[in-house]
Structure 1
């Protein structure tokens, strides 16, 4: 009998993860079982459980891949201190939108975000992890935006682009949108500041008029 090496195990584990990810993109998270994952790559369910003790552990490993991809995109910016430069927002947007890798995680992350459960289940802890990751990303973009309050809106905008790409409704090469997005949100920040200034001036004029004999 052939002996299985650590490298063999790593290759098999990667095949299982790739199969699960592909099926989730095609069918949706709730329509994918361990049996489906195993069947798609010619394995038995027991063989899959030899690498992942449960469906939740398999999904957790997929979520780890998503978290690692997002972290890797933004890490170089942090290391270079790009967050303090004038082009930091555009660089961060390019990092998120470059290539096709992040779009492959959309189906899993979306399903976890939409998950609702009245009692604790295998998906609830994963959903909490996603929510923490989203908040960390929002804080990161808030530090890059002239108007931090726009960070949530920008995340929704980015998620829409990645989702459209995942459904093949948007072309590859989304990083070409980074410059336009950066200009848009810098412009929105300037507009918000101008409106705030106008409101302040209007209030001041009202006070002056009220206090004038």
Structure 2
């Protein structure tokens, strides 16, 4: 009987995760079972359960991969290596959008965000993890945005880009969007400040008029 090493187990686990991820992208989360994942790579369902005790554990491992990808790309920001000033946002966006690998997580994350049920189920804890991750992402961007209140909008903007790429509605090479996005958000802040200044000036003028006998 062949002996299975730790490396063999890790390689098999990686194959199972890759199979699950691909099927979820093709069919959607709710149309993929453990049996489907096993069949796609020539394994039995029991063999998959030897690595993941449940479908929820398998999905949790996939979500961990997504969390690790985002964390690795945001590491320079978390460690204070992104710098400060107008170029910090551009660098952070460039690190996040480098390559197209993040788009592979869109189907899973989208399905978990949209998940709703009347009672606790295997997906509810995973959805809670996604929501915590979204809040962490907002907090991370708030550090490099001149107006922290724009962080939520930027996260939504990035999610739209990733989703469009995952559905093949946007070209590959999302990193090219980093400069344009950074300029857009810096320009938005400058415009808002200018508008605020105009309103303040108008208010002051109005006040002087009213105070004039």
Confirm or deny: 8 A CA contact 2:78 2:140 kept in the other structure.
no
What is the deviation of 1:84? Answer: 2.1
Contact 2:70 2:96 in 1 (8 A): yes
Deviation at 1:186, TM superposition (A): 0.2
Q: Which residue of structure 2 aligns with residue 100 of structure 1?
A: 100
TM-score using structure 1 length:
0.96
SS at match of 1:87: helix
Report if aligned partners of 1:73, 1:96 keep a CA contact under 8 Å in 2.
yes
1:112 aligns to 2:112 (yes or no): yes
Deviations 1:144-179 (A, max 9, x none): 111111111111111111111111121211111111
Matches of 1:66 and 1:120, distance apart in 2: 23
Distance 1:28 1:71, change over 3 A: same
What do residues 126-153 of structure 1 show as CA deviations (whole Å, max 9, x unaligned)?
1111011111111111111111111111
8 Å Cα contact 1:83-1:143 kept in structure 2: no
Q: Which residue of 1 aligns with 2:20?
A: 20
Q: Look up the match of 1:159.
A: 159
CA RMSD of aligned residues (A): 1.2
Task: Tell me which moved more, 94-103 or 62-71.
Answer: 94-103
Unaligned runs of 5+ in 2: none
Kept in 2: contact 1:103–1:166 (CA 8 A): yes
Poorly superposed stretches of 4+, deviation over 4 Å: none
2:141 counterpart of 1:141: yes
In the alignment, structure 1 segments of 5+ residues that lack a partner are: none
Q: Secondary structure at the match of 1:82?
A: coil
Contact 1:38–1:48 at 8 Å: present in 2 too? yes
What are the within-5 Å matches in structure 2 for residues 1-213 of structure 1?
1-79=1-79, 81-213=81-213
Deviations 1:69-128 (A, max 9, x none): 000011134335324243110011111111121000000001111111121111111111
Q: Distance in 2 between matches of 1:204 and 1:122?
A: 58
Equivalent-residue separation in structure 2 for 1:145 and 1:80 (angstroms)? 14
What is the TM-score with the length of structure 2 in the denominator? 0.96
Aligned length: 213
- Distance across 2 between alignment mates of 1:26 and 1:184: 33
Instruction: Assess, with a 3 A threshold, how the Cα gap between structure 1 residues 211 and 85 changes in structure 2: closer, same or farther.
Output: closer
